[in-house]
Structure 1
Amino acid sequence: MSVKKRFIAGAICPRCAAMDRIRAWEQNGVRYRDCVACDFFEQAPIVDEAVTELETRVNREREEQRRDTLQTVKILDPGKR
C-alpha cells in the first residue's frame, strides 16, 4: 500500500526556508513531514486528545468584551403608533 504524500501550500521549511517544498503524510499512527529541497525530516505521534484553544491576548479580550458590553433596552409604548 502506497502512502499519499501531500505538499503543504505556503509552508516554509524550518531548515532551508524554501516555500512550498514541505510534504506531509501519516503512517502507522505517526505524522511525518519532510522537505524536498533539503534534508529536513520530522516525525511526531498522532495524539487523539481534544484540542483546546490556547489562551491568548486576543481571545481573552473577546471574552472581556462580551462581559462588559452594555445592551440598550428600548421600551415600546403600545398606545403610540
Structure 2
Amino acid sequence: MAVQKRFIAGAVCPRCAEMDKIRAWEQSGIRYRDCVNCDFFEQAPIEEETAAELETRVNREREEQRRNAIQTVRILDPGSR
C-alpha cells in the first residue's frame, strides 16, 4: 500500500528556506516531513491531542448559565422510613 505524500501549502523549509517544497505523510504512528529541494527530513511520533478547550465568550456564558440555573429541591420527610 503506497503512502500518499502531500505538499504543505505555504510551508517554508527550515534548511533551504524554499516555500512550498515540504511534503508530509503519516505511517505506522509516525509523522514525516521532507523537502523536495534539499535533503531536509524530519520524523516525529503522532501524539494524542488532549488540549483543553480555549475559553471563549460562548463557553463562558454556558458556564454562567449552568451556575445560575434554578434547581428543584426535594424535601424528605425524616419520619417516613
Shorter-chain TM band: 0.5 to 0.7
Q: Which runs of 5+ in 2 are unaligned?
A: 61-81
Aligned length: 58
- The alpha-carbon deviation at position 52 of structure 1 amounts to 4.2
Distance 1:28 1:12 in 2: 25
- The alpha-carbon deviation at position 38 of structure 1 amounts to 0.1
Aligned-residue sequence identity (percent) comes to 72
- The alpha-carbon deviation at position 51 of structure 1 amounts to 2.5
Q: Which position in structure 1 is the counterpart of 2:39?
A: 39
- The alpha-carbon deviation at position 37 of structure 1 amounts to 0.1
Q: Which position in structure 2 is the counterpart of 1:78?
A: none
Distance 2:51 2:34 in 1: 24
Q: Which position in structure 2 is the counterpart of 1:70?
A: none
Asked if 1:2 is matched to 2:2, the reply is: yes
**TM-score for the superposition, normalised by structure 1:** 0.63
**TM-score for the superposition, normalised by structure 2:** 0.63
Alignment deviations for residues 61-80 of structure 1 (CA, whole Å, 9 cap, x no partner): x99xx9xxxxxxxxxxxxxx
Aligned-residue Cα RMSD (Å) equals 2.2
Distance 1:24 1:51 in 2: 23
Q: Which position in structure 2 is the counterpart of 1:27?
A: 27
Considering only CA atoms, is the larger Rg found in Structure 1 or Structure 2?
A: 2
